[in-house]
């Protein structure tokens, strides 16, 4: 059966997360509903990267199987039906074995923090008006790349069998008035980026040392990390696939 990728962007403020959940609205539910209205058939979507309630995405993917004829104006028509905070960018025909989750080579996230009150950033960044030692925070961000077991930064109730993540970039930088944490890895655990950010903010406030952060990672104990960074500051920036992945299918 023919398979397709859907590229999607969304503001997660009004949703319980990316994936369908009982008695809660999600990005997946809205996209499946819009598709069924246009194509007159229901589909089941598989997501590339699950984002938690309130988390945003500039790029994420679904894939689905569909044996009928895809409307030539599907993207336009779905965007006309979808809520204003969800947008479809592309529908891409792919091979029957292509998988938007398992074939992805890396994901990139950014977490935005602002320190001067700004009503226009309220739902897109974390207001944190405290003095921070950015040098210590960068030391911690560099340290993260030396490890691959992030048990300490995973929420307790999780069904994953492995806590191994290969992080190849981790840094703090400024973008306009926002202090931004950028991280790229092959995979992420539930709550992992927010836990890393919240814990590094404790280092920035000099309530934790870089050596204590190192021990926290090595202890593999999620009860000692902070998970206090709210979801609305987090953006999934990109989901990456092997070079030429789409052009060869």
Q: What are phi and psi of 118, to 5 degrees?
A: -150, 110
Known catalytic residue at 85: no
Q: Which of 52, 67, 142, 177 is catalytic?
A: 52
Q: Give the residue numbers annotated as catalytic, written as ranges.
A: 52
């Amino acid at each position: 059966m023919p398979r397709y990728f859907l590229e999607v962007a969304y503001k997660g403020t009004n949703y319980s997360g990316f994936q369908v959940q009982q008695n809660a609205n999600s990005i997946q539910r809205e996209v499946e509903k819009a598709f069924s209205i246009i194509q007159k058939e229901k589909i089941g979507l598989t997501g590339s990267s699950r984002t938690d309630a309130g988390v945003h995405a500039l790029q994420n993917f679904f894939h689905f199987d569909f044996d009928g004829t895809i409307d030539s104006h599907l993207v336009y028509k779905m965007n006309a039906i979808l809520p204003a905070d969800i947008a479809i960018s592309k529908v891409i025909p792919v091979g029957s074995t292509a998988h938007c989750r398992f074939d992805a080579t890396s994901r990139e996230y950014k977490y935005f923090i602002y320190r001067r009150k700004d009503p226009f950033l309220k739902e897109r960044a974390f207001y944190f008006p405290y003095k921070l030692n950015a040098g210590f925070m960068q030391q911690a961000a560099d340290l993260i790349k030396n490890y691959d077991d992030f048990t300490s930064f995973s929420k307790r109730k999780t069904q994953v069998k492995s806590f191994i993540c290969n992080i190849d970039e981790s840094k703090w930088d400024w973008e306009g008035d926002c202090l931004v944490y950028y991280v790229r890895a092959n995979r992420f655990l539930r709550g992992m980026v927010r836990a890393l950010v919240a814990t590094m903010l404790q280092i920035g406030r000099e309530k934790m040392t870089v050596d204590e952060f190192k021990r926290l990672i090595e202890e593999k104990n999620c009860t000692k990390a902070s998970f206090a960074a709210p979801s609305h500051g987090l953006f999934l920036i990109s989901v990456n696939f092997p070079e030429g992945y789409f052009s060869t299918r």
